[in-house]
Structure formats: C-alpha cells, structure tokens
Structure 1
Amino acid sequence: MATLSPPPVTVPPADPLFQAESGAAAVARGVARLLYRHDLVAVAEVALGNGRRADLMAVDSRGAIVIVEIKVSRADLLGDGKWGDYLPYCDRFFWAVPAGFDLAPFSGAALGPDVSGLIVADRYDAAIVREAPLRPMAPARRRSETLRLARRAARRLLELADPDAASSV
C-alpha cells in the first residue's frame, strides 16, 4: 500500500504586523485589534509622502486617518526626533507602548495630550490611556495618503494570494 505524503506547503510572505510575537510586533498586533474594534483598519509599515514610515496607519469608514508610532524602549522614545513629521499625515496621532512601559515621558508638553494620544498594548489587546486630539488633514493630502494606504494594502493581499504576481510584471 502506498503512503500518502502531504502536499508541499507554500508560505506566503510575512506581513510585518504579525512577523514576531514580541516587542514592537506584539504591540502592533494588540493595537491593530483595538483599532479594529473602533472601526479602524490598520496596515503596518506604511510609507508616507514625506519619506517617513508609519509603524501603523489606520483608516475608518469615514476616511479619518490615524497613525500609531510604536516604542518598546525608553531610549528609542527619547531619541526619536522624527515623530513630528507624521502629524501632517493623519487626523490623530498615537504613541503605543508595551504594558509596563514607564509612561512619565508622555506627561510632558513635548509628547503630551495637546499633541498625541497614548495606547498601552500587549500581543492580545490594547487600551487607549489618552485619546489623541483631532487635527483634520488637508483634503488633498487625505486623498493622496488614503490612495497610498489602499494601494499598499492591495499589493500585500495580492502578494499573499499570488506570491509570483510581482515577478510576472
């Protein structure tokens, strides 16, 4: 009697959102779940029009855009001078940190409530500790960033469904 061998397994390219289960990827996963419950669908590692890359960018059903910058160490947070470049590319900006992170730096004026929201997360869930202020984007920028986000998400879906698609063009 012949033995049946399992079919070869095709592993799709990993989505950065779920590559690892610790550190920034774990925070991203928990934050994405939180955002989804609030009718925001997130995409990880989104290039912006100014060349910066948002850790998470999400859009809701009305077109509002949220950017979440993830920090897993105090040194990374305090050494980050580029986060202000994200503000013109979203309606709301949040910091996200793992549970147990020292939240003291977020109480100062530079990272405080007038500028940003704050989310604490683990790999399973997240909680908004401080809501982000609303700063509506310019309509032309909203359109271009929504299009950029949609195309990135569609490209990732195509690569998952057909890993050879990109090489056939």
Structure 2
Amino acid sequence: MLPSINPQIRPDGRQSQTAAAIQKGVCRHLRAAGFATLTEFTLASGRRVDVIGLSPSGQIWIVEIKSSLEDFRADLKWPEYRDFCDRLYFAITTDLAPEIMPAEAGLIVADAWGAEVQRDPAEHLLHASRRKAMTLSFARSAALRLHGLYDPEMM
C-alpha cells in the first residue's frame, strides 16, 4: 500500500502580511466567480504578476496588488501587463485611497476573507495567438506547481 501524501503549501514569503492578505482575498473572490488562479505568475516578458485568473470562458485577468502608497509609487511596470490580459485590475486594502489608482485599470478592495470589485476596466481582448500562448503557459505553470507539491525534489 502506498503512503498517503498530504502536500502542504507554504507562503512564498515575498509579500508583506498586508499583500498576502489581499492576495488571499482576491484569489477567494475569483475562485468563487469560477476562475482558476495562480499567484506570482511569470509572463513571457519576464515580468511577474501578483495574481492571474483564467475564467471558464478563457478570459484572462491580471490583478496587481498594492499594499501601500509607497508600493504603488515604486511600481512602474504595471502598464506592461496590459498586453497579457483581457482585464487589468489593482487590488488594495480599505486603508488605501482608491482615487490614486489609475482609472484605466479596474479596482478591487480586498482583505484575507474576500474581495469586492469596485470598478471594472474597459475590456481589451487578447489576440487569439496571445490568448493561446497565455492559456498554455498558465496550464503548464499550474501543472508543474501541482507536481512540485507531490515531488518537491523535482522543483
């Protein structure tokens, strides 16, 4: 008889406690809406997004987490994410002023228990070839992460 495997996912430790709470709430919200999510997902450009979601219909959303005003001011890379998703959102806590977030992106307010979309962005549909590449990359990343839980020596 094979031994029971009970993989444990550990926080990656890259985020502050606030950012980790926002991430958890955003992922819970998207999952409840039917999305599959991945965190710390690397795009073909080499940039890493905080959360990427894949809807049942194939829509791709990217959510950039901002845990403080300083975090937002230091981030100059977020406009590059636009080319890799159908919708781009910022996710913030209730402590951050929503009016500082760019109007061209959507807005989500989140905590560790959930999230609420405050503003949807204009939809900017991906080209079919980019959508296919992103969907395949999402699937491979998810499968490799799952395998890594069961066989950590392969990571």
- Contact 2:7/2:150 (8 A) holds in 1: no
Which residue identity does 2:10 align to in structure 1?
Answer: A
The reply to whether residue 130 of structure 1 matches residue 126 of structure 2 is: no
Aligned length: 151
| Equivalent of 2:136 in 147, 151, 168 | 147
Which letter does structure 2 place at the counterpart of 1:14?
R
1:41 matches 2:41? no
Are 2:69 and 1:74 aligned? yes
Identical residues among aligned pairs (%): 34
Alpha-carbon displacement from aligned partner over 1:72-92 (angstroms, at most 9, x marks no partner):
010111221110100000000
Q: C-alpha distance in 1, partners of 2:6/2:38?
A: 23
TM-score, normalised to structure 2, is 0.89
The amino acid of 1:22's aligned partner reads Q
Determine the structure 1 residue equivalent to 2:10.
14
- Give the 5 Å matches for 1:20-169: 22-106=17-101, 111-112=102-103, 115-164=104-153, 166=154
Structure 2 CA distance for aligned equivalents of residues 71 and 55 of structure 1: 10
Consecutive unaligned residues in structure 1, runs of 5 or more: 1-8
How far apart are the structure 1 equivalents of 2:122 and 2:129? Answer: 21
